[in-house]
Amino acid sequence: MRAIWTGAITFGLVNVPVKVYSATEDHDVALHQVHDADGGRIRYKRVCEIDGKTIPYEHIAKAYDDGERTVILTPEDLESLPAERSREIDVVEFVPNDQLDPLMFDRSYYLEPDSKSLKAYALLRKTLEDEDRTAIVNFALRQKTRLGALRVRGNVLVLQTMLWHDEIREADFPSLESSPRITDRELSLSAALMESFAGDFEPEKFSDEYQEELRKLIDAKLEQGESVDTAATFGEEETEKKGGGEVIDLMEALQRSVERSRSGKESGTGGATKASASKTGAAKSTAKKSTARKATAKTTAEKAPAKKAKKPA
């Protein structure tokens, strides 16, 4: 990893030099725009609306428009701001971990000690961990003054940028003003259903299926060309058809879900052989039904009389 910023954590007279690294990365497949007729790349030009000329990056400045006047801010103007020149992550206060609303978190960064002596870094990390607290900090990054949460993750300090309080929108929905009556029976079934799905969170169990399928499609098109058969690439899957517009009672849905979850667990503990045999039988049954449907369709098509052409008037 490459450091994107260097500075120091400061609280009181303590100074902890650190390097800042992005803790996350985007795994999405990079796509760009092209002309569908010939594949030519579509590019955007930086054209000035006044003289019609293409403007190089070094002559592009930021500006604010209030509707009547435009104020141009040059890079020198922005760099002259005191907050932008600061290289300090200033601790404002230490708060209990459970007081932070996850909705306020934005981006995450790893902090590596940038000093030959690791004692100050290790001391801060140990204190935060033992006291079960998070440091609320102020700092400047990429021409913005930011609010952040400094906490411990394993053996590293993590800095998470936070949204300002006025950037969190209120959940003001009229539909939430009424409180529907919930019976003890419904609550009991809902709790039972939730318990059947209970488990420890393991992030590695989850994957981005869309990006995986997109990569698979791209690889297939690279190998087979533009005439790739999408159905053949991903395989045809038979899905259980549900009646459209069917309204199921909440109690009935909860009861069915709990029973299905329990039966699934029982079959799972009954032995892998039984489950495998069941799946194999189901697969054979599905294959037979599919073959029968195809045969019926073929017979029907052969027996159907050809339509007579209409005589011209």
Domain count, the chain: 1
Which of the four pLDDT bands, split at 50, 70 and 90, describes residue 104?
A: very high
From 26-35, 235-244, 256-265, the region with the lowest mean pLDDT: 235-244
Structure token digits, residue 162: 């936070």
Structure token digits, residue 189: 């079934």
Asked whether residue 248 is domain-assigned, the answer is no
CA distance 199 to 158: 26
CA torsion, ordered 71, 72, 76, 81, to nearest 10 deg: 30
Asked whether residue 245 is domain-assigned, the answer is no
Q: What is the DSSP track for 195-256?
A: HHT-----GGG---HHHHHHHHHHHHHHHH-TT--HHHHH---------TT----HHHHHHH
Does residue 111 register a pLDDT over 50? yes
CA distance 185 to 190: 9
pLDDT of residue 82: 67
pLDDT of residue 135: 97
Q: Which residue has the higher pLDDT, 49 or 264?
A: 49
Count H helices, E strands: the chain? Answer: 8, 9
Does residue 23 register a pLDDT over 90? yes
pLDDT, tens digit, 9 for 90 and up, residues 255-270: 788 788 777 766 655 4
Asked whether residue 259 is domain-assigned, the answer is no
Q: What is the CATH number of the domain that holds 110?
A: 2.40.290.10
CA distance 292 to 290: 5
- Whole domain around residue 10: which residue ranges? 5-27+46-166
Helix axes 250-269, 272-303, angle to 10 degrees: 120
CA distance 185 to 255: 10
pLDDT of residue 299: 45
pLDDT of residue 215: 87
Asked whether residue 306 is domain-assigned, the answer is no
pLDDT, tens digit, 9 for 90 and up, residues 145-190: 899 999 999 999 999 999 999 999 998 899 888 888 989 988 999 9
Asked whether residue 175 is domain-assigned, the answer is no
Query: To which residue do tokens 């400094």 refer?
Result: 150
| Buried b or exposed e, range 3-40, using 16+ CB within 10 angstroms | eebebbbbbeeeebbbbbbebeeeeeeeeeeeeeeeee
pLDDT of residue 265: 67
Does residue 31 register a pLDDT over 60? yes
Contact 91, 10 (CB under 8 A): yes
Q: Which residue has the higher pLDDT, 8 or 275?
A: 8
pLDDT, tens digit, 9 for 90 and up, residues 68-79: 899 999 888 877
Q: What is the DSSP track for 80-105?
A: TSHHHH--EEEEEEEEEGGG--GGGE
Query: Residue 94 corresponds to which amino acid?
Result: F
Asked whether residue 100 is domain-assigned, the answer is yes
pTM, to two decimals: 0.65
Structure token digits, residue 196: 């059947």
Out of 27-41, 262-276, 298-312, give the one with best mean pLDDT: 27-41
Asked whether residue 132 is domain-assigned, the answer is yes
CA distance 78 to 144: 10
pLDDT of residue 256: 81
Asked whether residue 38 is domain-assigned, the answer is no
Mean of pLDDT values over 189-203: 89
CA distance 65 to 55: 20
